[in-house]
């Protein structure tokens, strides 16, 4: 007698138990949204299977029980779970020996390799091929399958080299999420970069070309026997289905000397495709200072907060992606900073009762995509109107994510304005100096109507101080003249970000504090921050006081994130 249970993989003990079971059956544990297991009367795990979105995975049955029909029961339950989640076309990557079993459950094979098959139980591939056939063209047609994570000058070079060799070039972007840049961001960059190249057509992605279904090891960069089977499967689907639908005669790839997985994939492509009537053309990689241009290096520069270095390698149409990543990175740097008086951080709610670290993370995830939108606004557009509209959409997303709690309204305004202004200077081909950036920020802020409803606006009017909008309309003079130079002078030293925050609290008329505590409370906060800069041992006293009296320097937190973003984006001060 066996009972089927859903096992919580978030529990470490349970996850390790599943990993041991899979390893005993020659499989590696992979990410799953849910995992079902058959358990015998003694509590032993004897069969299991998982599902991630529309892909069934990690399916195994103990060898001595493979005639008990356990796999059929598990798969039927997983199919029901997938259907309930809205996935009507499920896929499974499995061993050829399991093909008959899955076909008996309504699946059909769409790709074969020596050691793997891919099956699905709907018409997903059929529908995708019908879409591709609408784009079919005459003449010598080629294809490039690329991740463009992000789009670089190396990708641009490959596409232009391919264009010189064919009559029509199709670009199929890799669609899987879970990467640094989203599919929507990468697709926009590709479409914009080759908009005027009549030979080029960017097609929609699919799970049938280098995806988590056909080629999961691509995203893990491993060169195992399983990875080889996945490569062969991916190429079988390409030659059997995708290439005929488009009339593709040639596939273009960049040469690879360093990445073992990509090199292996290229070798298999050169072996498998020509016998099927598809030529493989390897284009030497474009180099910068003697080194091949790689998207991974762009990502490395971004992890260091170095926009200028990343921008040298990245295609200009990738700029909004880079800005989005760095804006998100700046917000997380502020949130993750410990020891912030009155503010939410990993170990404390600060002076807040309606916010915590998890909620703030959720808020940042909700608003992050809008920084890409801010940086995508072109000078030919109605810039101010588009910026305001984007800001309102970001606020709506924030409130939906937080259940109505205002976690980042000030940050949306400040960093959204900065991203939009940065993009205007960038798109016009100017060097984004502090002077040019400040001027554009001031001009855009002047088009933003003053708000009467926010706490900060009321405090600014009542106590006759500069609020967030007025500071923006002046181009954030303290940011560029004081805080950014100060931060750069101490960057890399111990507690640099905490010192920057204290400096900002000491300098700024923080309307968040003014609204709640009035001029006396604001003066006390500034005085304590200045004292803590001189004597860091006093920071604990300041933290305790801010929590006890409900003082939250939210405006200072916004300026901290803005200063960090300015440090990322502006190399010339």
274 shares a domain with 374:
no
* The Cα angle at residue 392 between residues 386 and 397, in degrees rounded to 5: 125
Q: How far apart are CA 135 and CA 141, in angstroms?
A: 11
Q: How far apart are CA 209 and CA 236, in angstroms?
A: 10
Does residue 464 contact residue 547 with C-beta atoms inside 8 Å? no
Does residue 57 contact residue 93 with C-beta atoms inside 8 Å? yes
Q: Which of 270, 293, 316 is the last residue of a domain?
A: 293
pLDDT tens digits, the chain, 573 residues: what are they? 778 889 888 888 999 998 998 888 877 788 889 999 988 888 888 889 999 888 898 888 888 877 778 888 888 999 999 999 999 899 988 888 888 988 988 999 999 988 888 999 999 999 999 999 999 999 999 999 999 999 999 999 999 999 999 999 999 998 876 789 999 999 999 999 999 888 999 999 888 876 655 555 433 344 467 778 888 988 999 999 999 999 999 999 999 877 788 888 899 999 999 999 999 999 999 998 889 999 999 999 999 999 999 999 999 999 999 999 999 999 999 999 998 999 999 999 998 989 999 999 999 999 999 999 999 999 999 999 999 999 999 999 999 999 999 999 999 999 999 999 999 999 988 778 999 999 999 999 999 988 767 766 777 677 677 778 899 999 999 999 999 999 999 999 999 999 999 999 999 988 888 878 788 888 999 999 999 999 999 999 999 999 999 899 999 999 999 999 999 999 754
User: Quick one: 427 exposed, middle or buried, by C-beta within 10 A (0-12, 13-18, 19+)?
Assistant: middle
Does residue 78 contact residue 51 with C-beta atoms inside 8 Å? yes
287 shares a domain with 313:
no
Quick one: DSSP state of residue 247? T
306 shares a domain with 273:
no
- Which residues are within 8 A (CB) of 47 and not within 5 positions of it... i.e. 6 or more apart? 2, 37, 38, 60, 61, 62, 65, 70, 71, 74
Q: How far apart are CA 93 and CA 97, in angstroms?
A: 12
Residue 37 falls inside a structural domain? yes
Residue 413 falls inside a structural domain? yes
97 shares a domain with 65:
yes
Quick one: DSSP state of residue 240? I
Residue 235, Cα to own-chain centre: how many angstroms?
27
- The closest of 293, 255, 329, 284 to 150, measured between CA atoms, is 293
Bridge partners of 173, per DSSP, are: 146
Beta-sheet pairing, 279-283 with 248-254: parallel
Q: At what angle do helices 455-463 and 511-534 cross, to 10 degrees?
A: 80
Does residue 248 contact residue 218 with C-beta atoms inside 8 Å? no
Q: How far apart are CA 371 and CA 292, in angstroms?
A: 30
Confidence (pLDDT) at 218: 39
The DSSP line for 516-568 is: HHHHHHHHHHHHHHHHHHH-GGGHHHHHHHHHHHT---HHHHHHHHHHHHHHH
Q: How far apart are CA 388 and CA 475, in angstroms?
A: 17
Confidence (pLDDT) at 53: 87
Q: Quick check: helix, strand or coil at residue 51? A: strand
Q: How far apart are CA 498 and CA 415, in angstroms?
A: 20
Q: What is the CATH number of the domain that holds 191?
A: 3.40.50.620
Confidence (pLDDT) at 224: 64
- The closest of 334, 395, 559 to 468, measured between CA atoms, is 559
Q: Which of 111, 136, 155 is the last residue of a domain?
A: 111
Q: How far apart are CA 285 and CA 294, in angstroms?
A: 9
441 shares a domain with 331:
yes
Residue 249 falls inside a structural domain? yes
167 shares a domain with 43:
no
Largest CA-CA distance found in the chain, in angstroms, rounded: 82
C-alpha pair distances (Å), 547 with each of 56, 343, 419, 499, 543: 49, 9, 33, 19, 6
Residue 57 falls inside a structural domain? yes
C-alpha pair distances (Å), 72 with each of 76, 97, 287: 6, 14, 52
Q: How far apart are CA 562 and CA 315, in angstroms?
A: 25
Q: Quick check: helix, strand or coil at residue 460? A: helix
130 shares a domain with 71:
no
* The Cα angle at residue 332 between residues 330 and 337, in degrees rounded to 5: 100
Residue 118 falls inside a structural domain? no
173 shares a domain with 32:
no
Q: What is the CATH number of the domain that holds 105?
A: 3.40.630.30
Residue 119 falls inside a structural domain? no
252-282 burial: b if 16+ Cβ within 10 Å, else e: bbbebeeeebbebbbeebeebbeeeebbeee
The number of distinct structural domains making up the chain is 3
Confidence (pLDDT) at 97: 82
Does residue 523 contact residue 551 with C-beta atoms inside 8 Å? no
Q: What is the CATH number of the domain that holds 463?
A: 1.10.4200.10
Quick one: DSSP state of residue 152? B
Domain hosting 191: range is 126-293
309 shares a domain with 197:
no
The DSSP line for 2-38 is: -EEEEE-TTSHHHHHHHHHHHHHTT------SEEEEE
Torsion of CA 311, 315, 316, 322, to 10 degrees: -50
Q: Which of 248, 272, 293 is the last residue of a domain?
A: 293
182 shares a domain with 100:
no
78 shares a domain with 171:
no
pTM across the whole model = 0.89
Residue 117 falls inside a structural domain? no
* The Cα angle at residue 481 between residues 479 and 483, in degrees rounded to 5: 45
Q: How far apart are CA 503 and CA 500, in angstroms?
A: 5
**Length of the chain in terms of residues written:** 573
Does residue 323 contact residue 372 with C-beta atoms inside 8 Å? yes
* The Cα angle at residue 220 between residues 304 and 142, in degrees rounded to 5: 95
Q: How far apart are CA 52 and CA 33, in angstroms?
A: 5
278 shares a domain with 426:
no
Kindly tell me the sign of the dihedral angle through the C-alpha atoms of 442, 303, 308, 365. Answer: negative
Residue 120 falls inside a structural domain? no
Confidence (pLDDT) at 285: 92
Kindly tell me the sign of the dihedral angle through the C-alpha atoms of 438, 440, 446, 449. Answer: negative
């Amino acid at each position: 007698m066996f009972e089927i249970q859903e096992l919580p993989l978030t529990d470490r003990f349970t996850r390790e138990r599943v990993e041991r079971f899979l390893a005993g059956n020659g499989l590696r544990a992979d990410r799953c949204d849910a995992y079902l297991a058959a358990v015998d009367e003694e509590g032993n795990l004897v069969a299991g299977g998982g599902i991630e979105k529309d892909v069934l995975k990690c399916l195994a049955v103990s060898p001595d029980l493979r005639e008990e029909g356990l796999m059929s029961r598990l798969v039927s339950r997983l199919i029901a779970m997938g259907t309930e989640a809205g996935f009507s076309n499920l896929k499974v990557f499995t061993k050829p020996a399991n093909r008959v079993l899955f076909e008996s459950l309504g699946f059909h094979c769409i790709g074969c390799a020596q050691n793997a098959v891919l099956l699905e139980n709907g018409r997903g591939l059929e529908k995708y091929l019908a879409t591709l056939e609408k784009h079919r063209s005459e003449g010598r047609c080629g294809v490039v399958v690329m991740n463009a994570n992000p789009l670089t000058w190396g990708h641009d070079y490959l596409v232009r080299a391919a264009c010189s060799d064919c009559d029509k070039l199709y670009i199929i972007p890799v669609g899987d999420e879970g990467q640094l840049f989203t599919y929507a961001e990468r697709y926009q960059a590709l479409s914009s970069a080759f908009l005027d190249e009549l030979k080029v057509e960017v097609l929609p992605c699919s799970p049938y070309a280098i995806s988590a279904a056909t080629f999961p090891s691509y995203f893990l960069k491993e060169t195992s026997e399983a990875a080889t089977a996945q490569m062969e499967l991916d190429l079988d689907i390409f030659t059997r289905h995708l290439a005929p639908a488009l009339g593709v005669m040639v596939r273009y790839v960049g040469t690879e000397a360093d990445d073992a997985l990509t090199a292996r994939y290229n070798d298999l492509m050169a072996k498998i495709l020509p016998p099927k009537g598809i030529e493989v053309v390897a284009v030497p990689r474009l180099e910068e200072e003697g080194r091949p241009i790689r998207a991974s290096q762009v990502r490395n520069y971004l992890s260091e907060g170095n926009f200028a270095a990343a921008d040298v390698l990245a295609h200009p149409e990738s700029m909004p992606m880079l800005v989005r990543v760095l804006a998100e990175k700046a917000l997380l740097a502020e949130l993750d900073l410990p020891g912030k008086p009155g503010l939410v951080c990993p170990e404390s709610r600060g002076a807040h009762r309606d916010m915590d670290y998890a909620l703030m993370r959720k808020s940042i995830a909700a608003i992050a995509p809008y920084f890409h939108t801010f940086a995508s606004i072109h000078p030919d557009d109605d810039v101010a109107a588009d910026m305001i509209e984007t800001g309102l959409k970001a606020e709506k997303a924030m409130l939906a994510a937080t259940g109505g709690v205002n976690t980042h309204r000030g940050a949306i305004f400040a960093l959204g304005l900065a991203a939009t202004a940065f993009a205007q200077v960038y798109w016009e081909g100017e060097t984004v100096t502090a002077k040019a950036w400040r001027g554009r920020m001031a001009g855009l802020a002047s088009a933003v109507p003053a708000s009467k409803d926010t706490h900060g606006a009321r405090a600014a009017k009542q106590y006759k101080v500069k609020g967030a909008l007025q500071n923006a309309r002046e181009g954030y003079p303290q940011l560029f003249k004081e805080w950014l130079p100060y931060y750069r002078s101490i960057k890399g030293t111990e507690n640099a970000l905490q010192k920057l925050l204290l400096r900002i609290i000491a300098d700024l008329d923080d309307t968040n504090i003014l609204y709640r505590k009035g001029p006396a409370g604001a003066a006390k906060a500034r005085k304590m921050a200045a004292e803590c800069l001189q004597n860091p041992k006093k920071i604990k006293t300041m933290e305790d006081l801010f929590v006890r009296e409900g003082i939250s320097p939210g405006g200072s937190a916004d300026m901290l994130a803005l200063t960090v973003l300015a440090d990322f984006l502006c190399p010339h001060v």
